[in-house]
A and B are shown apart, each in its own frame.
Chain A
Amino acid sequence: MDKKDLIQYIETIADNSLILGQRMGELTGHGPTLEVDIACTNISLDLFGQVRSYFQYAAQLSNQEISEDDLAFLRQERAYKNVLLVEQPNRDFAYVIARQFLFDHYHFLFLKHLQNSEDETLAAIAKKSIKEVSYHKRFSSDWIIRLGDGTEESKQKIQTAVDDLWQYTQELFEPNEAEKAAEEKHIGVDIVSLQAEYTQNVGKVLQEATLTQPDLKFFQRGGKKGIHTEHLGYLLSDMQYMQRTYPNMKW
């Protein structure tokens, strides 16, 4: 596979972890309880760690013409290829959990298949990451059940968050050009094929949580092409502040 295309693919898959990691990191010191605060920041740390492996690989492919820090901190908004789901803000704890839950179940299936990539480095990153993501998935699924099958208020809040964020889930299974090219070369994952299992797995947890699986006809998309919701700009200005103020810092 052409190195430039491979870097594009790496950006597409790593940006999801980067932006979600930043969102979870925003909870540092603001989690509802100490344990949950620590859990959210641990998840953030895992995600950043994965991004670092991806970006170090991309930097290596570019013959160090771009650095991991350039990729993380110095791109313009349009160059980020993350799905819209992960950039949605921390409106309340229900949103934090619903966003994590909807992404974790995708992320787990994605990594399960990326382990078989013909690209050795990507396969190794996937093998490492999937162990961490299985903890994330357990954490978010447990909370979906606890909130859904909890009090009247917690149920109403988590249902609202799931209903609202559901419109961003279809995009997970719609490949952009880089993903299509990588899949053809057996380097990337055939994400279209993941949807049936995803819907089933997510449905099982929602059912146990006594929640209703949303039934939507219209979905939001665009992140993978660089067209984002208004929330990403604010997130980036926060995330890129240090690097732009003190150029050439290392993360």
Chain B
Amino acid sequence: MTIEEAQIDKELIPILEKVSDPEIPVLTVLDLGVVRFAKITKPNFVEVKITPTYSGCPAMDVIGDDITSALSENGYETKVDLVLAPAWTTDMITESGRKTLEEYGIAPPMDAVSDKKALLGEEQVVKCPQCHSTNTKMVSQFGSTACKALFKCHDCQEPFDYFKCLI
């Protein structure tokens, strides 16, 4: 996924880049891929469409509000709509977003096949974001937020979050 595919006006990108995910503050809403549409449709008026990561994600309301206030600081009136289709997938996280996640200490989502093997405990493929060992074990499919699973590293002994694959 790239920003171009998501139909976002170029001049809005620097503004939206400053809006971060309230639960993973190092990730911008553009990195996360939840902004599907942001266009200036009338003078000083922006229409935004965002898609939820998980249905119950409590961050969505906050993200909508944060986008509205960031745009209003730049003189735009905003209308934010929540769209369900196409459903968000972890593929919508940008390449730079994946890197940021790992640096932050959250293992980024893998492809669907590896993800399934990892969560079913068939194969040790999730890399520890601290020491990069794959000698890791899933502790729980459900982690600190709806989008994460909890892992533990056998080498550095640190627990860490894994961003679950959603396709």
Contacts and interface: CB of A to CB of B under 8 A. Distances in A.
B142 A129 contact: no
A52 B55 contact: yes
Contacts of A132: 54-55, 146
A128 B55 contact: yes
A48 interface: yes
A139 B55 contact: no
B142 A53 contact: no
Interface in A170-188: none
A124 B56 contact: no
Interface string B40-63: 000000000000101111100000
Contacts of A128: 52, 55, 84, 87-88
B119 interface: yes
Nearest to B121: A142
Nearest to A41: B142
A165 to B, nearest CB: 23
A227 interface: no
Contacts of B167: 131
Contacts of A46: 54-56, 146
A38 B144 contact: yes
Given A35-B139, A39-B141, A131-B166, A49 B84 contact: no
Interface residues of B, number: 23
A48 B52 CA distance: 14
Name A's interface SS: helix
A125 B166 contact: no
B80 to A, nearest CB: 14
B112 to A, nearest CB: 11
Contact of B141 (A49, A125, A129, A138): A138
Contact of B140 (A35, A47, A49): A35
Given A49-B54, A52-B56, A38 B143 contact: yes
A50 interface: yes
A121 B87 CA distance: 12
A146 interface: no
16 contacts: A35-B142, A46-B56, A47-B56, A49-B55, A50-B56, A52-B55, A121-B84, A124-B85, A124-B87, A125-B55, A127-B87, A132-B54, A132-B146, A135-B142, A135-B164, A139-B142
Given A124-B87, A131-B167, 10 more contacts: A35-B140, A38-B150, A39-B140, A49-B54, A50-B56, A127-B84, A128-B84, A131-B87, A132-B55, A135-B142
